[in-house]
Structure 1
Amino acid sequence: MKHPAVYIMASQRNGTLYTGVTSNLVQRAWQHREGVAPGFTKQYGCKLLVWYEQAGTMEAAIIREKQIKGGSRRQKLALIEAMNPDWRDLFEGIASP
């Protein structure tokens, strides 16, 4: 079953940010954390899931991702701070049944 989501990974509090979209947030966040796929998150150490938002459809998730990516860093930080002011790694909360 697919559950579209937009998410932000970070290297550390106020560090490098990566915004992505996926149909399986648990699997995708795990891939970033473990560095199993080459790319931006592996290169910059973005292993912390600091923000995410579920979407009704993949199309809606992609539109939201583009909106976030098109925004400023300050806007991304505000999203994170509103949901996760302590910058906790949210992976454990989504990975647990």
Structure 2
Amino acid sequence: SNLHKRLFEHQSSKYPDSYTSQRLPVALVYYAEFTDINNAIATEKQVKNWSRAKKEALIAGEFNELPNLAKKNFSK
């Protein structure tokens, strides 16, 4: 609910065993606002499981590319 506080916690390694504490400094490159905390948490968990390419498309605002990047390549 407090974006600035959360970013500060990541930057200051408030949780030393967290993913971001080993990858400092971090930069905020994308955020979305939600009116329902449950939707916010669900979306964050979903995005964390996305591929790097899909996350980069989201950051770049290439929303039309997201469905294509979600498809699996079964030709291997």
Tell me the TM-score normalised to structure 2 length: 0.67
Whether 2:29 is the aligned partner of 1:57: answer no
In the alignment, structure 1 segments of 5+ residues that lack a partner are 1-22, 84-97
Runs of 4+ in 1 over 3 A off after TM superposition: none
CA RMSD of aligned residues (A): 1.8
Q: Which protein has the bigger helix share?
A: 2
| 1:46 to partner: Cα distance | 4.3
Tell me the TM-score normalised to structure 1 length: 0.54
Task: Give the share of equivalent positions with the same residue, in percent.
Answer: 38
In the alignment, structure 2 segments of 5+ residues that lack a partner are 63-76
The structure number with the bigger radius of gyration is 2
| 1:65 to partner: Cα distance | 1.2
| 1:76 to partner: Cα distance | 0.5
